[in-house]
Amino acid sequence: MEDEENAVEILVSNTEAAHSPSPIRCCWLRLRYLAATSIICGCSCLGVMALVFAIKAEERHKAGQSEEAVHWGAQARRFILASFVVWFAILIMGPLLLWLLSYAVAQAE
């Protein structure tokens, strides 16, 4: 009876371990695609760094080093976000500064 209970506990724990969420919280291929997109549609220098970190994260994941993969993946996500933020800031600030300049010139005349 005790052996059967131990076997059931081991089976339940193995089943829970198999279905437990992975500590890695991202899709590596999607991370690489976002990094490539940030090169094209964002600030390219930050996008290149994001792509480098995404590749490092994917290689660490393939090597089984999950903690390092999560670290490099987080760095890649930060650079992807920074790339898009800088690009959008330039897109918004450029016309805004031109409008401000034309307003200042009009007020000076």
- Taking only the tens of pLDDT, the chain with its 109 residues reads 566 666 556 655 555 444 444 444 557 778 888 888 888 888 889 999 999 999 999 899 889 888 999 999 999 999 999 999 999 999 999 999 999 999 999 998 8
Residues making up the chain, counted from first to last: 109
92 located within any domain: yes
31 located within any domain: yes
pTM: 0.66
- Domain of 76, in residue numbers: 26-108
Rounded Cα distance, 81 and 77, in Å? 6
16 located within any domain: no
Rounded Cα distance, 3 and 86, in Å? 62
Please state the domain count of the chain.
Answer: 1
Rounded Cα distance, 71 and 30, in Å? 16
